[in-house]
Amino acid sequence: MIHLHICQGTTCYVLGAAELATFATNLPSDLRDRVCVSGCRCLGLCREGAFGGAPYVTIDGQALSQATPETLLAALRARLANAASDEHA
């Protein structure tokens, strides 16, 4: 199971996380049983002036900046492809 956390802190929310908040309900059917999506109050990744990277998400603990539904979907599919190749190696 892949764990996706969407930052809902003020900066991320204003800069696009509001759109990402519905990501869980819009997951393609092939990902629904493989991805757990949750929001969190703040990931703390925009501290020290890194606001330009917002909105932030983490995928299994790895940060992704400037997240959009498209980049999230691509990152999730890449993670699943890597996991499948690791299983066959």
Q: Tens of pLDDT along 38-89?
A: 999 999 888 766 667 899 999 999 999 999 999 999 999 999 998 877 776 5
Mind listing the domains of the chain with CATH numbers?
A: 2-88 (3.40.30.10)
The pairing of strands 2-7 and 35-40 is parallel
Q: What does the alpha-carbon distance between residue 75 and residue 60 come to, in Å, rounded to a whole number?
A: 11
Instruction: Give the bridge partners for 63, in sequence order.
Output: 58
Q: If pLDDT is split at 50, 70 and 90, which confidence band does 9 have?
A: very high
With a cut of 70, say whether residue 31 has pLDDT above it: yes
Q: If pLDDT is split at 50, 70 and 90, which confidence band does 23 have?
A: confident
